[in-house]
Structure 1
Amino acid sequence: MSAPSPNGRFSRVFSESDEIRILRFLIRATKSLSPPITTIGTPTINRIVERLNHRFTPSQINDKLRRLRDKFRKHVNNKYLVKTHHDRRLYKLSRRIWGKKKSPKKTDKLRGAETVESGEGDGDSEKYPYLVAEFSRVLPDNEVWKERLKGLEESKLRKMDQEWVLLKVEEAKLVAQKAELVHRQIMEIMG
């Protein structure tokens, strides 16, 4: 929501941190309800206003929640719109509020079995812990690489994971050499 400023331009009423705080407060206020939450009552809006120290009116909060819900729906329809770190955080929080409740489907289980039999990668991250750990560290909020893993062949994934294992072994050797060097030099200095 924007308000006209003295120079005629629109300025933001809510900062990015305000948006995050509003969604977190809403999650706490509605934690007894299962998603998707379809309506948000006046008492919930008033609690959010109180937690934000009455900096915003209930109508501003209600309008902001409507806009955040609309933005979430756009992100659901086109995941490529989730580009910035802030948008990813909004998407994850919004999914907890307005996302569909996930339940395992038979078709997903069957499709997973078919891909294993056909030799395609099943994207099972538990089979490749080193690969997944490194990508999770480098791209913590990016879900695209997880989806792309599912399309790779198992042999390729195994090879990539093994390369990370070998690199970790080399790293451990270097750390041990460094510790040995430090120890030796300390002994020389200290006499």
Structure 2
Amino acid sequence: METPIPRSPNGQFSRVFSDSDEIQILKSLIKATKSLPSPITTVAAEIVDRIAKRLNYKFTSSQINGKIRKLKTKYHKHVKNKSLVRTHHDRKIFKLSKRIWGKKTAPKKKNETQGGEIGNKKNETQGGEIGNRKADDGVGNLGKFPHLVAEFSRVLPENEIWKERMNGFDEKKLREMDQEWVALKVEEAKLVAKKAELMQQQIMMIMGEAGTTNGVN
């Protein structure tokens, strides 16, 4: 028996799974099926149970199975028509889904690997593929660079692609960028103090004793 679709107070259908839930489901699938050949055709009950546990048992096995089927259908639609991939969430879902239901290329022979694997890996890194994989897997090491992250979050609050790209950078480079913001904030603090001091001097010069009686020390 299927679980009834919840409705909002106004009678319209409401979403059961949030964007975050969808990401968690796909990441859990990738982790659980990494030893299996792609594309994945069936999802074992034990994997669904693991996903349910990861989501704190907010959903039934039937709901999770249904969501996996919908995500798979959505992926194949996006493969046929890339213009349907419109939002940042769509792009992230597409990339994760590709690792589950996309076709993997056949592994290269040893001779071919020795001849070109190192060069290919270097190109992939430069293109950002390794960085994107790290972001998709949720590396979560950006907490080491709070000042850098805070500034990007302030300037690009609606666009989180920068997090994926940033995860692809070398830690040493990110630390340097973070320290640049620290140094700038120190200079800003000094500038604010100088402005306050200058304002106080000029008020006293112009207002004299009246400036003191009006709260300027």
Q: Which amino acid aligns with 2:35?
A: S
RMSD of aligned alpha carbons: 2.9
Q: Which amino acid aligns with 1:30?
A: T
Provide the secondary structure at the position in 1 that maps to 2:11: coil
Provide the secondary structure at the position in 2 that maps to 1:68: helix
Q: Which amino acid aligns with 2:45?
A: T
Question: 1:7 deviation in Å?
Answer: 2.1
Q: Which amino acid aligns with 1:97?
A: I
Q: Which residue of 1 aligns with 2:28?
A: 25
Q: Which amino acid aligns with 1:60?
A: Q
Q: Tell me how far apart the structure 2 counterparts of residues 87 and 41 of structure 1 sit (CA, whole Å).
A: 26
Q: TM-score, normalised by structure 2?
A: 0.48
Which of 87, 90, 103 is the aligned partner of 1:100?
103
Structure whose alpha-carbon radius of gyration is higher: 2
Q: Which residue of 1 aligns with 2:37?
A: 34
Deviations 1:117-149 (A, max 9, x none): xxxxxxxx95xx7xx78xx9xx996xxxxxxxx
Q: Tell me how far apart the structure 2 counterparts of residues 25 and 13 of structure 1 sit (CA, whole Å).
A: 18
Question: 1:78 deviation in Å?
Answer: 0.8
Aligned pairs for 1:115-126 within 5 A: none
Question: 1:2 deviation in Å?
Answer: 4.8
The reply on whether 1:71 has 2:74 as its aligned counterpart is yes
Question: 1:38 deviation in Å?
Answer: 0.3
Q: Which residue of 1 aligns with 2:59?
A: 56
Q: Which residue of 1 aligns with 2:10?
A: 7
Q: Tell me how far apart the structure 2 counterparts of residues 28 and 56 of structure 1 sit (CA, whole Å).
A: 19
Provide the secondary structure at the position in 1 that maps to 2:24: helix
Alignment coverage as a number of residue pairs: 115
Q: Tell me how far apart the structure 2 counterparts of residues 87 and 7 of structure 1 sit (CA, whole Å).
A: 27
Q: Which amino acid aligns with 2:36?
A: L
Q: Which amino acid aligns with 1:49?
A: A
| Structure 1 stretches of at least 4 aligned residues deviating more than 4 Å after TM superposition | none
> Structure 2 stretches of 5 or more lacking a match?
109-121, 132-158, 162-186, 188-217
Distance 1:140 1:12, change over 3 A: closer
Aligned pairs for 1:132-171 within 5 A: none
Provide the secondary structure at the position in 1 that maps to 2:6: strand
Question: 1:53 deviation in Å?
Answer: 0.7
Q: Tell me how far apart the structure 2 counterparts of residues 2 and 25 of structure 1 sit (CA, whole Å).
A: 24
Question: 1:49 deviation in Å?
Answer: 0.5
Q: Tell me how far apart the structure 1 counterparts of residues 50 and 83 of structure 2 sit (CA, whole Å).
A: 34
The reply on whether 1:89 has 2:92 as its aligned counterpart is yes
Question: 1:5 deviation in Å?
Answer: 2.1
Provide the secondary structure at the position in 1 that maps to 2:17: coil
Which of 34, 43, 46 is the aligned partner of 1:43?
46
Question: 1:75 deviation in Å?
Answer: 0.5
Distance 1:140 1:35, change over 3 A: farther
Percent identity between matched residues is 57
